[in-house]
């Protein structure tokens, strides 16, 4: 695999992961504002299912099945033949459809516009939420100080 395809794989992993993790309430208003939605045909219309989440014993050891989570997936093709896949957490079919369309558009000449209007602001919002929680956690970090008791002989 060339560096370039590695790179494009990594960036696609990036945006697909972002779309999967994004709360519907954060993604949809951005997507609703985006103009220039393409026509498409379904390859697989949105379907709700479960994924068994795995962990490892002791965090690093043997794999075990932890429990399931809900996931909605779909696949579609734009009229120029670009295929988009949506795999998103939860049970929202509109969110899965938006994710698949964004995935397809990100592979076309519309990528720049979609990135600027949807991906970048979404990433920013999610990073802000994450930093907010990390900042609150940091304020609860224990600062130890030592008290000396008794006489030093």
Partner 1 sequence: MYVAVKGGETAIENAHAWLAEERRGATDIDELSIAQIREQLGLAVNRVMAEGSLYDPDLATLAIKQSRGDLIEAIFLIRAYRTTLPRFGYSNPVKTGEMACDRRISATFKDAPGGQVLGPTFDYTHRLLDFKLAAEGEVPAALTAQPRTEATPHITEFLKGEDIIQDEPASDTTPGDLTREPMEFPSNRPLRLQSLTRGDEGFVLGMAYSTQRGYARNHAFVGELRIGKVGVEMDIPELGFAIDIGEIELTECETVNQFKGSKTEPPQFTRGYGLVFGQSERKSIAMALVDRALRWEELGEDNLGAPAQDEEFVLSHADNIQATGFLEHIKLPHYVDFQSELELVRKLRREAEERITPKEAAE
Residues touching partner 1, count (CB under 8 A) = 55
Does 112 participate in binding partner 1 (rule CB under 8 A)? no
| φ, ψ dihedrals at 21, nearest 5° | -80, -25
Binding mask 65-84 for partner 1 (x = CB under 8 A): xxxxxxx-x-x---------
Cβ within 8 Å of residue 68, ≥6 positions away: 50, 51, 52, 53
- Per CB under 8 A, the list member of 2, 4, 39, 60 interacting with partner 1 is 60
Distance, in Å, from the CA atom of 82 to the CA atom of 111, rounded to the nearest integer, reads: 12
Instruction: Rank residues 8 and 80 by Cβ distance to partner 1 and give the closer one.
Output: 8
What b/e sequence results for 104-121 when a residue is b if at least 16 CB atoms lie within 10 Å of its CB, and e otherwise? bbbbeebeeebbebbbee
- Of 32-40, 54-62, 104-112, 116-124, which segment contacts partner 1 by CB under 8 A? 54-62
Q: Are 107 and 91 in contact (CB under 8 A)?
A: no
Least distance in angstroms from the C-beta of 133 to partner 1: 6
Does 88 participate in binding partner 1 (rule CB under 8 A)? yes
Does 124 participate in binding partner 1 (rule CB under 8 A)? no
Does 8 participate in binding partner 1 (rule CB under 8 A)? no
Indicate the DSSP class of residue 58: G
Does 42 participate in binding partner 1 (rule CB under 8 A)? no
Distance, in Å, from the CA atom of 31 to the CA atom of 70, rounded to the nearest integer, reads: 22
Q: Which residues bind partner 1 (CB under 8 A)?
A: 9, 12-13, 16-18, 20-21, 47-71, 73, 75, 85, 87-91, 130-142, 144
């Amino acid at each position: 695999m060339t560096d370039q395809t590695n790179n494009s794989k990594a960036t696609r992993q990036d945006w697909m992961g972002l779309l999967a993790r994004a709360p519907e309430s954060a993604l949809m208003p951005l997507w609703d504002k985006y103009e220039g939605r393409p026509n498409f045909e379904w390859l697989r219309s949105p379907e709700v299912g479960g994924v068994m989440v795995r962990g490892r014993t002791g965090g690093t050891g043997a794999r075990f099945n932890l429990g399931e989570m809900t996931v909605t997936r779909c696949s579609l093709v734009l009229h120029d033949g670009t295929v988009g896949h949506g795999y998103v957490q939860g049970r929202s079919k509109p969110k899965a459809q938006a994710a698949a369309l964004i995935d397809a558009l990100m592979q076309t000449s519309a990528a720049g516009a979609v990135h600027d209007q949807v991906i970048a602001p979404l990433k920013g919002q999610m990073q802000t939420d994450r930093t907010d929680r990390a900042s609150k956690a940091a304020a609860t970090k224990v600062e130890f100080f030592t008290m000396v008791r008794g006489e030093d002989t």
